[in-house]
Amino acid sequence: MAATARIYRGTPANVAFLARELRAGRLVAVPTETVYGLAADATSAAACRRVFAAKGRPASDPLIVHLARTRDLPQVAVPNAAALLLARAFWPGPLTLILPKTAAVPDAATAGLPSVAVRVPAHPLFRRLIRAAGVPLAAPSANPFGYVSPTTTAHVRDGLGRRIRHILEGGPARVGLESTIVDLRDPRRPVLRRPGAISAAQLARVLGVPVRAPRRPAAARGRQVAPGQLARHYSPRTPLVLHDRISRRAVAQGRPDEAWLLMAQPAWHPGRPGAARPVFWLDRAGDPRGAARRLFAALRELDAAGFRRIHAERPPAGGLGDALRDRLDRAAAR
């Protein structure tokens, strides 16, 4: 049986060691402000293929390439004026841009497409590791493909601990949801491919043009222009049912082996989460930022608790609520 992955503190010696491992083509799970990622040398086709194998990820689902600095963007992509505007406004941060790729990025990282998804993460330890490695790092979420994304090292070890050797400890993810992805291959018509902490309205204010969503959801098969496009994703093994609102009456009429996950602590439930009946909430006051940080951890906890079904409340639309709704809709899809 394979040994469980080791968790490393972010000491200079550990960062230098993990950078050498990355340059040698090996994998390292890394902290980001969004979720934990599974990093590999983005310029090595062999290393990128190891990411797909470890995750069980289809080769049609491209990887996001991470840079330490905005000025490194021309190494991996062909920037345009719109991309530079957004980079100045939001990098380092949870924003991914889709642009034409350079020859430095192998087809294995991009599902064979001539475009690349790229960002500069805000997590300082991850950027230190990228600088130490001296190469851009491809890093999808560090979990088995399709399962709930990891926001702590414990989540990574639970899912991939026997498939990888190294996990870099960087604390719980501050944002908790994957990055916003905007397609700028045609900078005159930017397309929001995945909602995240940076909203379409924020992007539009910087660009001076609307940022539209695609008219059709991604096909279940075929190459995806960006990660996170499939109808079913981020999914617990326990069936998940969504509701626009969860009332006290619905909970009272529910089965005791079913869990109820609300955005905020309801006025009719003054106790602790899970007290009396299996009622839980993402943020006591319903703050979308707190809910985003807790969403994936809550889904994992309820999934592990042995419930027959999880009922979850959809957050209000708009801003970060759109990203939360996107993740819950995909997690609940059949």
Q: For residue 185, how many other CB atoms are within 10 A of its CB? A: 18
pLDDT at 241: 97
pLDDT tens profile 141-158: 999 999 999 999 999 999
The DSSP result for 301-324, as a single string, is HHHHTT-SEEEEEPPPSSTHHHHH
241, β-bridge pairs: 311
pLDDT tens profile 159-202: 999 999 999 999 999 999 999 999 999 999 999 999 999 999 99
150 to 30, 48, 100, 234: CA distances (angstroms): 11, 20, 29, 10
What are the residue boundaries of the structural domains of the chain, listed by start? 6-207, 240-332
**C-alpha span between 293 and 313 (Å, rounded):** 16
pLDDT at 332: 96
More confident residue, 107 or 229: 107
Exposed/middle/buried for 55, CB within 10 Å: 0-12, 13-18, 19+? buried
Exposed/middle/buried for 95, CB within 10 Å: 0-12, 13-18, 19+? buried
pTM for the whole structure: 0.95
Unique residue bearing structure tokens 């006591």: 284
Average per-residue pLDDT in the chain?
A: 94
More confident residue, 160 or 223: 160
**What percentage of the chain carries pLDDT values higher than 90?**
89
**C-alpha span between 235 and 330 (Å, rounded):** 7
Number of H helices, E strands in the chain: 10, 14
Using 50, 70 and 90 to split pLDDT, how confident is the model at 217? low
26 to 38, 49, 169, 252: CA distances (angstroms): 10, 11, 17, 51
pLDDT tens profile 86-121: 999 999 999 999 999 999 999 999 999 999 999 999
Residue 296 near residue 35 (C-beta atoms within 8 A): yes
**C-alpha span between 97 and 84 (Å, rounded):** 10
CATH class label, 6-207: alpha beta
Q: Which of 207-216, 301-310, 311-320 has the lowest mean pLDDT?
A: 207-216
Using 50, 70 and 90 to split pLDDT, how confident is the model at 229? confident
pLDDT tens profile 61-79: 999 999 999 999 999 999 9
Nearest partner of 295 among 181, 172, 180, 203, judged by Cα = 172
108: Cβ contacts below 8 Å, ≥ 6 apart: 45, 48, 49, 52, 59
pLDDT tens profile 262-294: 999 998 887 888 776 899 999 999 999 999 999
**C-alpha span between 298 and 200 (Å, rounded):** 26
Q: Is residue 295 pLDDT above 60, yes or no?
A: yes
Q: Is residue 232 pLDDT above 80, yes or no?
A: yes
